Structure 1
Amino acid sequence: MSRPALSTLTAALVSVIQLMTIALLYILTDWYIDHAELSALDALPPDAKRAWVSINNGEIPAPSDLAALAPLYPTLEEATEASPVEGVLGFGFLLIVFTSGIGVVLAYRLVAPLTRLTAAAEKIRQGDFQVTVEPGATKEVETLAITINRMASELLALETRLKFNTRAVAHELRTPLTVLQGNLQGMTDGVIPASEDQLRALLAQTRGMSRLVDQLNTLSLAGTIDFVTATTATDLALHASETVTLFQISAGGDVNFRTYLAPAPAMIDPDRFRQAILALLENARRYAGDFGPIDVHTGVDDTGRSFISVQDKGPGLPDYAQHSSFDMFWRSERLSGRGTSGSGLGLTIVKAIAEGHNARLEVGNNPDGGAYAKVTFEVA
């Protein structure tokens, strides 16, 4: 149901009070004048009273009655003329007090929702994000209540996500730190030999932690003005070709990458774009590298938008995971058996980079098997 605006309700309230005041003042003043006139007539002698009534009726009073009224007429006229002024002043004051009381009551009912909103905002400031506010009687209060409820809900979700991410980071760092601490303690005590292979394994643990810290730092910049900078009009195919070649060299010959690179003009930050490609390639290599070649495509789709996609021949994504795969620290249960799993931040970073370019990341399963990840850009 549509609610009235606060300005409309206030104007209506003031108008009603004014009309009520005028109507009551008119009725009471008219009654007071009649009452004052009757009281003055009742105080006159009978013959003077008859003369006054005859004059008011447009008749000529009897000489004796007129003679009785003549000495009293100035006093009677003064009393009847003063009565309206006294009535207006007296009843006007009483009506001001009465209508002011009504105005205070109505204003309190009007302001009460704002008081509840203020109390709710104070609870949110103190960290209580489960507070809810009932909509008020006006459109503005209803809109504000809905906004506060939505803000509280989003803050609660953010707090929950922050706690989860904090626990996840602690969990991710605990294992390599435990390995490092145990091995270094063993080397210090002489229990574990400080061989080159052992030191190389410990160095790999530190690199994994460093990579995790770098990824978290990247995500911390997402959404800021410093995240995607120095965009330039370029061809996605050029950067994809260079990045795939470098990744192929670093990954060795155990993974086969195939490229199908058609021109794909777009406005991008080259450094962030290469970072996104590396994350997609690493994700495909880690979870589907043993299942066949990994295909990288660039081009322009039917809607005129440039894209890059990475497709694999692996087990694909379970249906329930096609949305949760963007969540931080999410990992697929369908690992390729390569022995290690990633940090669970790859697709989260790619999604953040895509959004920084006003692009869209889409993941899903290919009809003939395997998973795909596709980033679609606006044409430069």
Structure 2
Amino acid sequence: MLQSSVTPHPERDRLMTRTRRIASRLRDLRSAAGTLPDAVVLLDHSQHVRWFNHAAEELLGLKRPRDRGRLMSDLLRHTELAPWWIDGAREPLNDVTAPGHPNRHVTATLLPFGSRQRLLLARDTSHLTRLEQIRRDFVANVSHELRTPLTVIHGYLELLDPEDVPELAPVLDEMRAQSKRMGQIVEDLLTLSRLETQDHVADEHVQMVPLLASLRKEAEALSQGRHTVTLDVVAPIDLLGSPKDLHSAFSNLVSNAVRYTPTGGRIAIRWAPSESDGATFSVQDSGFGIPAAHIARLTERFYRVSSSRSRDSGGTGLGLSIVKHVLNLHQARLAIESEPGKGSTFACVFGPDRLLRGTQAAEAAAAGVPY
């Protein structure tokens, strides 16, 4: 009987089986990633393209095999993603035009992967952009249509004298109050619609000292002596931007502080330099305070921490949304610190590009830059 000349190697056979299994799984993973609707681009430690899926060709304009091994910065050079990439892509980028597709919008995120590698992800948000535009148009159109009938109703209510019908006096007062509140909601919605359609503001000289003095007078008038209102101007720094919109944003913060601070409380308005050569407008109160779970949602439309308290104070639920949009147009941000029972601080933080200091402010004023 003949003996087989092949000597069995169990360890080698197990290694080959394992290698084939790993290779099969890698093919499955690559195939799955290739069919994802989101663009996926794998970059090496020097940001050269190692691999990308079919969606990356569609959304980012990459072509295989031409773009394999190329620097990602070169591929994004003439796109709306270029400034974000050059700046380090530290935060997700939202709602930008897809490279080579003017009618499509994407969001982009850069994630660390493996050993000094990066994963670039891009998602098509065109349908969300269209839905958002439909919502904006609807809100703007409805608000505009409501303005006239509300004005007529409010006008007729003003003509009615409660003394002529004393038994209806409480009803008429409530109708006037609700008509005025509805009118303010409509005006705030129209303001929001205008801000949402803007992509920049004019660089006008905003003189902060008179603006801050005006805000203090507004706070004292709204408070009617129920609160202690202080103003602290640490440095004579002015701003570049829209005086009307900045006044609206600051006024919203001041009026909120008055509304949500009990009688006898303190409200401090402050304008001071901040980190990184910026400046901060802040309003600090000794009011009810806000639980931490609510802070992230405060700038949403109509979001209320307490519905009953907001209605009693006369707020529309749109003020902080207006503040957020105004600050976005001025490349600024809203910072909120609060603790229940101890009060809140709302701060508008401006970068150095929006500031006019010393001689700059004087030169702008002398040149007649409008205020």
* TM-score normalised by structure 2 residue count: 0.51
The change in CA–CA distance for 1:195 and 1:228 in structure 2 (over 3 A counts) is farther
Counterpart-to-counterpart distance in 1, 2:244 and 2:312 = 30
Matched, 1:241 2:213: yes
What amino acid is the match of 1:247? A
Match in the other structure for 1:205: 178
2:234 partner amino acid:
A
CA contact (8 A) 1:289 1:336 kept: no
Determine the structure 1 residue equivalent to 2:364: none
What SS does the corresponding residue of 1:332 show, helix, strand or coil? coil
SS of equivalent to 2:244: helix
SS at match of 2:291: coil
Distance 1:239 1:277, change over 3 A: same
Aligned to 2:125: 150
- Equivalent residue number for residue 193 of structure 2: 220
Rounded Cα–Cα distance in structure 2 between residues aligned with 1:350 and 1:331: 15
Out of 224, 230, 234, which is 1:262 matched to? 234
Pair 1:331–1:341, CA change in 2 (3 A): farther
User: Which amino acid in structure 2 is aligned with residue 276 of structure 1?
Assistant: A
Matched, 1:3 2:52: yes
Distance verdict in 2 for CA 1:267–1:289, change over 3 Å: farther
Question: Residue type matched to 1:267 in 2?
Answer: L
CA contact (8 A) 1:286 1:336 kept: no
Equivalent residue letter for 1:342: G
1:1-380 map, 5 Å:
1=42, 2-3=51-52, 8-9=64-65, 146-147=122-123, 149-152=124-127, 158=132, 198-225=171-198, 228-229=201-202, 231-234=204-207, 236-263=208-235, 264-290=237-263, 292-333=265-306, 339-365=312-338, 369-378=342-351, 379-380=355-356
Output the CA distance in 2 between the equivalents of 1:288 and 1:165: 31
CA–CA separation in structure 1 for the residues paired with 2:170 and 2:251: 28
User: Does the 8 Å CA contact 1:311/1:370 hold for their aligned counterparts?
Assistant: yes
Partner of 1:64: none
Aligned 8 A contact 2:226 2:265 in 1: no
The one-letter amino acid paired with 2:270 is H
Moved over 4 A (4+): 4-11, 153-156, 159-166, 192-198, 334-338
Choose between structure 1 and 2: higher strand proportion: 2
Shift of 1:160: 11
- Alpha-carbon distance between aligned partners in 1 of 2:259 and 2:190, rounded to the nearest angstrom: 22
> Quick one: structure 1 residues 153 and 216, their matched pair in 2 at CA, closer, same or farther if it must change by over 3 Å?
closer
Give the direction of change, closer, same or farther, for the CA distance of 1:196–1:368 in structure 2 (3 Å limit): closer
Partners in 2 of 1:252 and 1:357 — Cα distance? Answer: 32
Name the stretch that deviates more: 301-310 or 244-253. 244-253
Amino acid at match of 2:213: S
TM-score, normalising length: structure 1: 0.50
Residue 116 of structure 1: aligned partner: none
Alignment RMSD, CA only? 4.4
Task: Note closer, same or farther for the CA distance 1:334–1:295 as it changes in structure 2 (3 Å cut).
Answer: farther
Identity of aligned residues (%): 24
Are the equivalent residues in 2 in contact too, given 1:265–1:306 (CA < 8 A)?
no
Q: Give the distance between the partners of 2:244 and 2:231, measured in 1 at CA.
A: 20
Cα deviation, residue 233, structure 1: 4.9
Structure 1: 5+ residue stretches without partners? 12-120, 126-144
What SS is found at the alignment partner of 1:320? helix
Mapped contact 1:287–1:335 kept (Cα < 8 A): no
In the alignment, structure 2 segments of 5+ residues that lack a partner are: 1-41, 43-50, 68-100, 105-120, 357-371
Number of residue pairs aligned between Structure 1 and Structure 2: 235
Map of 2:15 onto structure 1 = none
Q: Which structure shows the bigger proportion of residues in helix conformation?
A: 1
| Native 8 Å contact 2:252 2:320 kept in 1 | yes
SS for the counterpart of 2:290 is coil
Separation (CA, whole Å) in 2 of partners of 1:159 and 1:356? 18
Instruction: Give yes or no for contact 2:324–2:333 (8 Å, CA) kept in 1.
Output: yes
Secondary structure class of the residue paired with 1:260 = strand
